[in-house]
């Protein structure tokens, strides 16, 4: 019988990694976890409590004290799309807006926040049979994942992709704002001290400059099938 594995998909923001991760989870029947949504939910909670803001930045100590109050789960809606639930409230839409996107990278730099969320993520993967996407899944969360993919795409392609998604979700922004946000997040995510975004040595690099999802899936399923056979 095939063994259950962990699939770690890391990459820059809006590289298309979550589309790939969701499609692979659907194909395999595995659980899908969007780790970025968890950092976004913590950011939103901090904003609501007034400890994360554009004006005053992030009060790390106050935010860490609030972490035990934040419960994050995922549910599927009728169309099979995953939605992020924070303390019983569906925050899927709100965590994607530009304000949260602008504040999430500094929140994700905080040691206490990372420790709290990494532990939660490792708990989700205890039974294996999971596809998780993020920045440090193959390096820190599941260094022993059997399948690791690192997704790359140019900043311009990623900005176009993100803007399209935002407009479809009813969140407004201009191309310049989105490109600036993406480049700024790349900088913070890849230069932060703890778990910076980097490719795990044993990850496969996937260049995703507008590769149709069907083609991506052919490649991913082939690798997946090899890995479950061990
Ligand atoms: O994938 P995303 O754009 O939704 O992620 C939002 C932010 O969360 C991103 O700027 C970096 C951070 N993040 C992280 O530090 N580690 C992860 N595993 C996932 C996301």
Tokens at residue 175, please?
């191309």
Residue nearest to atom 5 of ligand 1 (CA): 36
Residue nearest to atom 16 of ligand 1 (CA): 135
Per-residue pLDDT at 29: 93
Verify whether ligand 1 is closer than 6 Å to residue 136 (CB atom).
Answer: yes
Mean confidence (pLDDT) of the chain: 94
Tell me: the pLDDT tens digits for 11-64? 998 899 999 999 999 999 999 999 999 999 999 999 999 999 999 999 999 999
CA 224 to ligand 1 center in whole angstroms? 24
Describe the crossing of helices 17-28 and 213-229 by its angle, rounded to 10 degrees. Answer: 50
Q: Does 94 have pLDDT greater than 80? A: yes
Q: How far apart are CA 87 and CA 106, in angstroms?
A: 22
Per-residue pLDDT at 13: 86
Environment class of 18 (CB within 10 Å of its CB; exposed 0-12, middle 13-18, buried 19+) = buried
CA 2 to ligand 1 center in whole angstroms? 31
Tokens at residue 63, please?
């935010």
Per-residue pLDDT at 54: 95
Verify whether ligand 1 is closer than 6 Å to residue 17 (CB atom).
Answer: no
Tokens at residue 187, please?
């900088």
Q: Does 213 have pLDDT greater than 80? A: yes
Going by pLDDT thresholds of 50, 70 and 90, the confidence category of residue 81 is confident
Verify whether ligand 1 is closer than 6 Å to residue 134 (CB atom).
Answer: yes
Verify whether ligand 1 is closer than 6 Å to residue 35 (CB atom).
Answer: yes
Residue nearest to atom 9 of ligand 1 (CA): 105
Verify whether ligand 1 is closer than 6 Å to residue 13 (CB atom).
Answer: yes
Per-residue pLDDT at 230: 72
Verify whether ligand 1 is closer than 6 Å to residue 133 (CB atom).
Answer: no
List Cβ neighbours of 209 (8 Å cut-off, separation of 6 or more). Answer: 153, 154, 157
Going by pLDDT thresholds of 50, 70 and 90, the confidence category of residue 189 is confident
Question: Higher pLDDT residue, 216 or 115?
Answer: 115
Going by pLDDT thresholds of 50, 70 and 90, the confidence category of residue 209 is confident
Per-residue pLDDT at 66: 98
Q: Does 161 have pLDDT greater than 80? A: yes
Residue nearest to atom 1 of ligand 1 (CA): 36
Verify whether ligand 1 is closer than 6 Å to residue 142 (CB atom).
Answer: no
Say if residues 64 and 143 touch (Cβ distance below 8 Å): no
Say if residues 83 and 76 touch (Cβ distance below 8 Å): yes
Per-residue pLDDT at 78: 86
Per-residue pLDDT at 177: 96
Q: How far apart are CA 225 and CA 186, in angstroms?
A: 32
Going by pLDDT thresholds of 50, 70 and 90, the confidence category of residue 3 is very high
Whole-model pTM: value is 0.92
């Amino acid at each position: 019988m095939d063994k259950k594995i962990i699939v770690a998909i890391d990459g820059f923001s809006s590289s298309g990694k979550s589309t790939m991760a969701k499609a692979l989870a659907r194909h395999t029947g595995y659980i899908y976890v969007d780790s970025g949504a968890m950092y976004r939910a913590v950011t939103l909670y901090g904003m609501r409590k007034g400890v994360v803001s554009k004006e005053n930045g992030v009060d790390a100590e106050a935010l860490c004290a609030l972490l035990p109050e934040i419960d994050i789960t995922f549910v599927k809606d009728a169309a099979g799309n995953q939605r992020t639930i924070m303390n019983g409230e569906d925050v899927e839409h709100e965590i994607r807006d530009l304000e949260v996107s602008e504040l999430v990278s500094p929140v994700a730099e905080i040691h206490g926040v990372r420790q709290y969320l990494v532990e939660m993520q490792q708990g989700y993967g205890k039974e294996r049979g999971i596809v998780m996407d993020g920045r440090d899944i193959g390096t820190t969360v599941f260094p022993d994942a059997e399948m690791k993919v690192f997704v790359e795409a140019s900043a311009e392609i990623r900005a176009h992709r993100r803007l399209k998604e935002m407009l479809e979700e009813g969140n407004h922004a201009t191309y310049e704002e989105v490109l600036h946000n993406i480049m700024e997040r790349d900088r913070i995510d890849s230069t932060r001290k703890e778990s910076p975004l980097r490719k795990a040595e044993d990850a496969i690099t996937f260049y995703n400059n507008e590769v149709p999802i069907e083609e991506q899936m052919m490649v991913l399923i082939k690798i997946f099938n090899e890995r479950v056979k061990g």
